[in-house]
Amino acid sequence: MRRRIQAASTIPFNLFLVIVSVAILHRVGSLNSVSAVCEFSFLDGKKIYNFSLASPLPNFPHGVLSEDGFYKVGANKTVLWFQLCSGMIFNHDPPTCVDCLDCGGPSRCGMECSALVANNVKGYDVCTTVGRVSTTTASVMDSQNPHKGVVIKMSSAGAKNLCSFSVSVICDTEVKGPHSLQKVGDCDYAAVLMHPSGCGTIIYVHGKGWGWFGTLMVV
Ligand SMILES: *[C@@H]1O[C@H](CO)[C@@H](O)[C@H](O)[C@H]1NC(C)=O
Ligand SMILES: *[C@@H]1O[C@H](CO)[C@@H](O)[C@H](O)[C@H]1NC(C)=O
């Protein structure tokens, strides 16, 4: 009799653990997919911050994504086009540059990557792909201050080298930028964008008596 009671209470608990594990694995798996590139949570001791950069906000139906299909930023003799969390679309002003091989070619230049840079070499604008949606990662700018903003980093492995582009999306009430295009390595660029999508929302604050279980519920 005693045995039976034990068994009855043990099996559901094991089953419960399996369900919880499957739910977590499912969540981890979905974080790696392209559509979830710009959606993540950050656990900060007592709080969980939710970042969902492509979700609609009152004045921004596409979140941090440019409604034009692309952003453009330039400095010195360099111009860089990019989109966040998605590939680029050009309905107007497509990039015109020599060599657009791995980002759509001359007829669809810019349409097959998420960041493209044009450098003026001996009078010609030469394009290099510096980012792809499939190699995009997002993380908080400052783990001590998660509300400051998010860094979205993309990269692209080209014929010659590995290139990258990082955008710091600083939490602000309105959009400013993109600006401050910097060359930070051989083929590595960085820029800054101020946007309300960079502000995380606090989705859970640990209450007394919830502990790890409460955390799992919302993750
Ligand atoms: C984060 O926010 C987005 C939209 O703002 C929502 O769809 C998503 O469910 C939230 N994530 C969590 C874990 O609450
Ligand atoms: C432009 O020049 C400034 C000052 O020399 C430099 O810091 C910056 O990285 C340059 N940007 C690009 C895209 O070359």
Over residues 68-82, the pLDDT tens digits come to 999 999 999 999 999
Residue 78 burial by Cβ neighbours in a 10 Å radius (0-12, 13-18, 19+): middle
Half-sphere exposure of 57 (CA within 13 A, CB side): 22
- Is 50 inside a domain boundary? no
Q: What angle do CA 54, 57, 60 make, to 5 degrees?
A: 80
Residue 193, pLDDT > 90, answer yes
Question: Does residue 33 sit within a domain?
Answer: no
From 6, 55, 16, select the one nearest 201 (Cα to Cα): 55
CATH number of the domain at 184, please: 2.70.130.10
Reported confidence tier of residue 44, pLDDT bands at 50, 70, 90: confident
30 in a structural domain = no
If you take atom 1 of ligand 2, which residue's CA is the nearest one? 76
On whether residue 129 sits in a domain, the answer given is: yes
- 135 Cβ below 6 A of ligand 1: no
Averaged pLDDT, 162-181:
96
Task: Average the pLDDT over 189-214 and give the result.
Answer: 77
Is 152 a domain residue? yes
Q: In this structure, is residue 122 part of a structural domain? A: yes
Residue nearest to atom 12 of ligand 1 (CA): 50
Domain that holds residue 153: 71-198
Number of domains in the chain: 1
pLDDT of residue 71: 97
Classify 152 as helix, strand or coil. Answer: strand
- Of residues 64, 54, 89, the one with CA closest to residue 192: 64
pTM above 0.75, yes or no: yes
